[in-house]
Amino acid sequence: MTYTIPRYPVHLIDVVRLVDGSRITIRPTLPQDLELQREFFRSLSTEGRYRRFMAPLNELPEAVAQRFITIDYRSHLALLAEVFEDGREIMIGEARYVVDEHDPATCEFALAVADDWQACGIGRALLARLEREAAASGIRRMVADTLYDNKAMRALAVASGYAVTANRKDARLVKLEKQVSAWRAAPRKVQQAAAEITMRHSLS
């Protein structure tokens, strides 16, 4: 199957060494990653799914799955973290932001890390890359809602410089907010790929 990918951000492909010395790959999500996304969702514990979606879900809804892979890398950027075991890709984390259609200087972000890979630095690595790309793209404010009892996410947010405040509309939630500036954006590692590239991927 052939996919046409607008402005695939190759500069966001990276190999990261975690605190325990292991290596993972972080890269922008591709349209053909749909099954990876589904497998990742299934790998999450019931609590992990609830914290990510704030709703009790047993399966990733098809509409959500399609939104997850319908990305243009400008108004919607998604990154995934993966490892390779016996030649097979295994997704262990994901992070994304969506630009506010009414305020292009603001984006809402979300992230999740597989239960077995918690406290390894993956969330921090994903969030830092989202922030750098947001800043480089002209975004100045990043926001998110998370459950109050999601201590890991609150701790990551505080350590990353986010203000954590009560959500007045829902007592279960807290709001995360951070101002990002252009100077935070790291230089791009490579020149942006051609405006449009075509990638061939076998779904065997």
Residues 22, 37 contacting (CB under 8 angstroms): no
Residue-wise pLDDT for 159-202, tens only, equals 999 999 999 889 999 999 999 986 444 444 433 433 233 333 33
39 forms beta bridges with none
At the topology level, CATH places domain 8-139 in Aminopeptidase (3.40.630)
Residue-wise pLDDT for 47-91, tens only, equals 999 999 988 888 888 999 889 888 999 999 999 999 999 889 999
Q: Domain-by-domain residue ranges, the chain? A: 8-139
| DSSP symbol at 176 | E
Say how far apart CA 41 and CA 35 lie, in whole Å: 10
Confidence category of residue 3, pLDDT binned at 50, 70, 90: low
Residue 124 CB contacts under 8 Å (≥ 6 apart), including other chains: 156, 159, 160
